[in-house]
Amino acid sequence: MTYELLVCDLRSDQLMDRLPVTGVSAEDYIGKTGTFSGTIPVPDQAMARRVQDALIPGRTSLWLTRGTAVAWSGIQWTDVRVSVDRGSASAQVQAAGPESYFRDHRMIVDTLTATAEDQLDIVRDLIGYAQAMPGGHIGVEIPSSPVSGVLRDRTFLSYDLAYIGRRIDELAAVEQGFEWRINCFRDPDGFRHRVLQMGYPTITVGGADTVLSLPGQVVSYRETTDASVQANAWISRGASINNNLAAASYPLMSAPLTTPSDYTAGWPRLDGSSDYSSVTDQATLDDHAAADLARQVRPVVIPQVTVRVGDEGLPALGSMIRLRIRDIWNPTLRTSRHRLVGWRLQPEERGRGETADLYLEVA
């Protein structure tokens, strides 16, 4: 399948050019920023001028299209222009998902306070705050739903110079937290959209399960059980609670958490900890500790499935996948249900069709 890059102005989304691209590598996730890299062939000076005019790192958005569908979208941050002997040239482009704008390039420069506010409304307020500043609007649409019903108190101090997306990540990571991302797509009328997407407690996409089978569309299946980060006892460390510079400084500490039922069942004690250097509230720190322990108390099982990519493309992040596996490990058909939380494209190569690695979590 042939890919094409739609090169647009980041703030206005005005189309600047359509460029061919090879060597495509693209990935997208729930919970972290996806990335893209690709190479634009530059066979002559006319193409060189087009690339120079269109690709401006830091102010250019890229829409990777596969046929008529948007396969990936994000912001160009790096441009490497290459020239070799005999006149061959290319532009190597690297980009990151639109979340990178808020996680790495936009700070909270005013003190902001939320009192008994729905946690998803706090996210809306933070993205709205970023886009309300001069030059700060990158076209992210902010829907009024959903809400979580979980109320939070938060104060974001101007002198912390905290990045907005990272504060959202911290808010999402506490007990009864949520997920967020920016969903980029083209609607049936052909208009491009960037929409703030949130889910409580997780992002899920409705509709029928996508069924993947081995043998069948699944090329390979890998399931890793990782106990290296497992913990059944936890404590979290917060900010310094001593404002007297002449006295010793000690961090705020969460209440120690343990799981006695694990020890009774025969598990060894496995200690874990986390740091939240900006958290000054005891209840908030305790929420972080409880959420961290819940994530780490059992070995992390990470299924990864490599599939052939058909004309219909990949399922949406947050959609449900039903796996049907029959192989040496599973001589009797094994069926399991998962949520799609990430993917990585592997472009077509000589002798091998286009595939994608799907990252799943147990539903």
Judged against a pLDDT cut of 90, whether residue 60 lies above it is answered with: yes
For position 351, what pLDDT does the model report?
Answer: 65
Contact, 279 vs 285, CB < 8 A? Answer: yes
User: Residue 43, preceding bond cis, omega within 30 degrees?
Assistant: no
Percentage of the chain surpassing pLDDT 70?
A: 97
Nearest to 284 by CA among 194, 192, 176, 361: 176
For position 204, what pLDDT does the model report?
Answer: 95
Distance CA 18, CA 159 (A): 42
Map residue 349 onto helix, strand or coil. strand
Tell how strand 210-214 and strand 192-199 pair up: unpaired
Judged against a pLDDT cut of 80, whether residue 147 lies above it is answered with: yes
Tell me the per-residue pLDDT of 320-361, one tens digit each, with 9 for 90 and over: 999 999 999 889 999 999 999 999 998 876 667 889 999 998
Q: What's the average model confidence in pLDDT over 250-269?
A: 94
Percentage of the chain surpassing pLDDT 90?
A: 79
Tell me the per-residue pLDDT of 72-99, one tens digit each, with 9 for 90 and over: 999 999 999 999 877 789 999 999 999 9
Model confidence band, residue 244 (pLDDT cutoffs 50, 70, 90) = low
Q: What's the average model confidence in pLDDT over 224-229?
A: 86
pLDDT, averaged across the chain: 92
Tell me the per-residue pLDDT of 261-288, one tens digit each, with 9 for 90 and over: 999 999 999 999 999 987 888 999 999 9
Nearest to 123 by CA among 100, 101, 152: 152
For position 94, what pLDDT does the model report?
Answer: 97
Judged against a pLDDT cut of 80, whether residue 363 lies above it is answered with: no
Judged against a pLDDT cut of 70, whether residue 113 lies above it is answered with: yes
pTM for the model? 0.86
Q: What's the average model confidence in pLDDT over 11-36?
A: 96
